[in-house]
Structure 1
Amino acid sequence: MEYEERFEKAVQVTGVGLLVNLGLTLFKLFAGILGSSAAMVADAVHSLSDFLTDIVVIFGFKVAKKPVDKSHNYGHGKIETLSASLVGLMLLIVAGQILFYGLRKILLFVEGENLEQPALIALYAALLSVILKELMYHYTILESRKINSMALTANAWHHRSDAFSSLCTMIGIGAAIFLGGKWVVLDPLMAVFLSFIILKVALKIFRSSINELIEASLDEETEGKIRQIIQNTEGVKALSNLKTRRIGNNIAVDIRIKVDSALDIGEANRISIHVEHNLKKAFGPYTYVLVKAEPYEREPAGKPEDGKIPEHAEHSEKHDICLRKQPIKEGKNNRF
């Protein structure tokens, strides 16, 4: 998928969610007040956070698609990550609000106050929300996988958390309506229960996006794949000092490779280019790759490497030469 097309698709998907969330927020708030349901009012607040989140995400995508410029040499991909972190933060706030709202109602019940029995309109609103939000989750998560977007994935889980909350709300309201009496307390109890579900999802999204913003390395599985690709590149005898990070939808790789010291600079440079091309083929054309080539120094006799290409420890800076930036001169004496 082309760069511009990716962001257009993300905005389109989020725009659909925005309209759905706006409609649900208004209907659920109306149903919660008219139907005297604490859980439904809490659920409406959750839908309102979804609506506000959609606005943040759309703004993030609009900014993130801007090309590289003088002040942003790696593009604006981090804006997408920032949007995801804001989604997580909003979910944390919503979880806290719902928890407080539900606990307050429960305390009133414990102190002997009679809670008003919810009306059927609140139950219908909860059922409609479960259906629409689950559909929005599947639609959004499918598109997020196609374009590999953390922000869209976070928003998809925001839809699902709303579906879960509406399901809990529906159970609580249904029990309060059809069982009556002391069972009315199930309405705020479900509000408390769903707040913990939302909290779990929020922490997962928030932690992942914050790790990316503070330049955390990629996961071990991805780094293992990167090492394998480099090791399988013809001419690479060893590798060292692998550094990775994520920049929005793309990844950045900084690696040192060891090549035969008998090769001239031009030949070593071609191996570096092959490493770069192989990584971009695996992780996408917008992958940032910096390859530094060094002469291979044989390790002293000792433990065998079992046929595997070794990963050397950091050596002195005397061999720290970035061959991608060295001019290739004609002649037979261009050796390491």
Structure 2
Amino acid sequence: MSVPSENNSGNIKQNTAKLSVISNSSLFVLKFIVGFSIGSVSIISEAIHSGMDLLAAVIAFFSVKKSEEPPDTEHEFGHGKFEDFSGLIEAFLIFAAAVLIIFEALSKLMEGEHSIEPSGMFLAGVAVMGVSALVNWVVSGRLMDTAKKTESIALESDAWHLRTDVYTSLGVFAGLILIKITGIYALDSVIAIAVAFVILHAAFDLTKRSLSDLIDRSIPEKDKQRIKDIICEHESEYAGFHGLKTRRAGPEIFINLHLVVSGDVTVRQSHDLEDHIESDLKVEFPRSVVTIHVEPCNEGKNGCDRCGSFCNYKKKS
């Protein structure tokens, strides 16, 4: 899979975020019109869900745009965490939407208000739910693909929002048909509550993931192991390395490590080795910021004991 350049990556992310804004705007309007026309709280709950998705898509668009700005005097490490912060805001919005849906549905159940209009508009509601599921499946797939290529948590969050909307829309779609067959209109509120709990689950997962990056959690262990493997490809050129630390800020990955070299290696040679390792890491992690601290190897009769399990310094005979 080819990795897009940094400038091209920003354009791809912004264009994909625009697509999400447009699709969510259209579905939000359609669901509200049809939901109020037939008096379906489950369709209205889906309209609220799409409204939150729309707001999330707008936030995602501005966050990916901001995160692509180069470092400045106030943000010397770049603007990547704008994406993480946007994911947290989106999660809170989804929590709010779920609570609103549950409140509305419980109110209708307690008051006994179950009056879906059994007209042609009812069929329109079924059709809107089917179209919503299809559109969101296509758009969420596009978002997820772009998120993986550009390592964008904002777009990935938006993709998961829409993927959740696919399942809830299908649930409402099936529920409306069941209501039509059974005539049990209280199912409308029950379905709305079920939709709300699905939304709450998605919000909880998104909150955990966003917070993990905001508090500088290490990248996944498999990625960290890949970094070690890349560094070890140069093992004949250094004595060892230690103190490997990683963190993520939006699409950016920060990699810090201490590289131990022989005491007779020149500054130029050690700098060339740093550049070589950094270049190799950027092939695998193109949005990485690599910081390497070079240390001289403690070559004594007892050998080097500062490099841990990665030291390949051989004792002299």
Q: How much does 1:95 deviate? A: 2.1
Q: Which amino acid aligns with 1:201?
A: A
Q: Structure 2: how far apart are the matches of 1:5 and 1:115?
A: 52
Q: Relative contact order (C-alpha < 8 Å, sep 6+): which is higher? A: 2
- Give the Cα separation in 2 of the matches to 1:47 and 1:296: 59
Specify which of 113, 136, 140 is matched with residue 139 of structure 2: 136
Q: Give the structure 2 partner of residue 282 of structure 1.
A: 284
Q: Hey, what does 1:322 align to over in structure 2? A: none
In the superposition, the TM-score normalised over structure 2's length comes to 0.87
The answer (yes or no) to whether the contact 1:118–1:173 under 8 Å persists in 2 is no
How far the C-alpha of 1:269 sits from its partner, in A, is 2.9
Structure 1 letter corresponding to 2:136: K
CA distance in 2, matches of 1:114, 1:218: 50
| Number of aligned residues | 301
SS of equivalent residue, structure 1 residue 184: coil
User: Residues 52-63 of structure 1: matches in 2 within 5 Å?
Assistant: 52-63=55-66
Rate the CA distance shift 1:189–1:67 in 2: closer, same or farther, 3 A.
same
Q: Give the alignment of 1:243-262 within 5 angstroms.
A: 243-262=245-264
Alignment-derived partner of residue 224 in structure 1: 225
Shift of 1:311: 9.6
Rounded to whole Å, the distance in 2 between the matches of 1:114 and 1:23 is 28
Deviation string, structure 1 residues 251-271 (Cα, Å, up to 9, x no partner): 111100122233233333332
Which ranges of structure 1 fall in alignment gaps of 5 or more residues? Answer: 313-336
Are the aligned partners of 1:29 and 1:40 in contact in 2 as well (CA < 8 Å)?
yes
1:218 is paired with a residue whose SS is coil
2:129 and 2:312 mapped to 1: Cα distance? 57
Task: Report deviation, 1:298.
Answer: 6.5
Match of 1:22 in 2: 25
Q: Give the aligned partner of residue 297 of structure 2.
A: 296
1:148 is matched by which residue type in structure 2?
A: E
Which structure: larger Rg?
A: 1
Query: C-alpha separation between the residues in 2 aligned to 1:310 and 1:89?
Result: 47
Give the aligned partner of residue 271 of structure 2: 269
2:116 aligned partner, one-letter code:
Q
What does the per-residue CA deviation read over 1:92-117, in whole Å, with 9 as the maximum and x for residues that have no partner?
22222223323333334xxxx35213
Q: 1:171 to 1:231 in 2, by over 3 A?
A: same
Note the 1:98-177 alignment, pairs <5 A: 98-108=101-111, 113=112, 115-119=114-118, 120=122, 121-177=124-180
For 1:73-128, what per-residue CA distance to the aligned partner results, in whole angstroms no more than 9, with x for missing partners?
122121122222222222222222223323333334xxxx3521354132222222
Match runs of 1:200-215 below 5 Å: 200-215=201-216
Q: If the length of structure 1 is used for normalisation, what is the TM-score? A: 0.82
State the shift of 1:2 in Å.
2.5
One-letter amino acid of the counterpart of residue 245, structure 2:
K
Offset of 1:176 from its aligned partner? 1.3
Give the match for residue 333 of structure 1.
none
How large is the RMSD of aligned CA atoms in angstroms? 2.4
